[in-house]
Amino acid sequence: MAKIRAFKAVRPKEVLVDKIAALPYDVYSSREARNIVEENPYSFLKIDRAETQFPENVDMYSKQVYEKAASTLREMKENGEFIQDEADCLYIYELTMDGRSQRGLVCLAFIDDYLNGIIRKHENTRADKELDRINHIDICSAHTGPIFLAYRSNEDMKKIIDEIVQTKPLYDFVSEDGIGHRVWKISKLDNITCITEFVGQMKHLYIADGHHRAASAVKVGLKRREEHPDYDRTEEFNYFLSVLFDESELKIFDYNRVVHRIDAQTMENLLEKISQNFEIVKCDDASLKPQKKGEIGMFFKQKWYLLKVRPEIESSDVVDNLDVSLLHNYMLSPIFGIEDPKTDSTLQFVGGIRGLKELERIVEKDASAVAFAMYPTSMEELLAVADEGRLMPPKSTWFEPKLRSGLFIHEF
């Protein structure tokens, strides 16, 4: 069963919360992060992406960069820009996008739950990306970005969260991208105990977003255990910062694909090759968004086509029957020669939040490209894959809205 605990959050002073809160560190390029910090010196990116505090020629993965992140966090605490709650608390974090709200429980998750599979994942991680966050977490002795976890719908949790959000929020602001953010603090021991027991009855939690942050936090926790062989699992380093959401409140967006540098022969016979496994319908619409599982939109030579998966290639296997898997197994690999989507430079991933016009723009700029608009992977598919201990192809899910970093920090 899942184990969580309350903690003394380091969090922004109320009047600065909208200035400090920032999108996750990996959303931005280094130049984009620098521009944001230049315009807003309070942005949490100056901690999460501390290379913004150095000349552009600095190695963003050097020790001095991580040490700058740690010293900046200390300075912001000393200046009163960050405060820390005196008692262990839980928090409710609500995000509202386009009229849809999702409410998450901010808490600490147990690293042993990650190690023993109570916290389940659906993506692989890359060692180089892990190392960056390992160094950041270890040198800062803090988790600065929460892990986005999901749990199967739970009426007991819903009821108590609904009661808490009737009270006055701790924070209430709208970020520059129009996302509403509200936070409530749960300090009453009875409520903390009740919620902890509810979560303790859950067999599994699921990583929705933040696989690299989770893996890195766990590895730092294991490193600290080695450094403190007398540990008893109650120390703060045995836990990592998380936000837990009811899966019914979450929305997965499409994660689209563009194949570049297609040779002339493949381009000439493309529709014929695709038709072997997909029914092709030419569309007159300016853009085409798939309406159900088994449909894929294709933008090719300035025209949209609807591709429908033929029944004979559908699979009873939970991973192989994902739309992104069917696209790869029956098109990207055999037709375009893309074997490893993680490393092939001809394959570009485009988040669905950018819209179909972005796919059209990319293809119009590169005449030897073709774009594929995917129907979003469902939460049911994600949970099923994780429950089987399987992994999805890379870039199968895109969650919106994104959790902000800097609203909650867990020091250890």
DSSP 79-106: TTSEEE-SS-BEEEEEEEETTEEEEEEE
pLDDT in tens, the chain (412 residues): 999 999 999 999 999 999 999 999 998 899 999 999 999 999 999 999 999 999 999 999 999 999 999 999 999 999 999 999 999 999 999 999 999 999 999 999 999 999 999 999 998 888 888 999 999 999 999 999 999 999 999 999 999 999 999 999 999 999 999 999 999 999 999 999 999 999 999 999 999 999 999 999 999 999 999 999 999 999 999 999 999 999 999 999 999 999 999 999 899 899 999 999 999 998 876 668 899 999 999 999 999 999 999 999 999 999 999 999 999 999 999 999 999 998 899 999 999 999 999 999 999 999 999 999 999 999 999 999 999 999 999 899 999 999 999 999 999 9
Strands 180-186 and 171-174, bridge-based pairing = antiparallel
- Under a CB-based contact definition with an 8 Å cutoff, are residues 73 and 140 in contact? yes
Instruction: Give the residue among 321, 306, 318 at the shortest CA–CA distance from 274.
Output: 306
Alpha helix positions (H), 81-228: 111-115, 127-140, 155-164, 189-200, 211-227
Query: What torsion do the CA atoms of 406, 177, 98, 108 make, to the nearest 10 degrees?
Result: -10
What are the residues facing 5 on neighbouring strands? 108
Give, in order, the Cα–Cα distances in Å from 364 to each of 216, 349, 351: 39, 16, 18
Kindly state the DSSP code that residue 354 receives in the 8-state scheme.
Answer: G
Q: What is the pTM of this model?
A: 0.92
Helix (H, G, I), strand (E, B) or coil at 374: strand
- Under a CB-based contact definition with an 8 Å cutoff, are residues 164 and 184 in contact? yes
Q: Which two tokens stand for residue 63?
A: 């020790």
- The one-letter amino acid code at 184 reads W
- Under a CB-based contact definition with an 8 Å cutoff, are residues 346 and 366 in contact? no
Kindly state the DSSP code that residue 302 receives in the 8-state scheme.
Answer: T
Helix (H, G, I), strand (E, B) or coil at 241: strand
What are the residues facing 11 on neighbouring strands? 83
Q: Residue 365: its pLDDT value, please?
A: 95
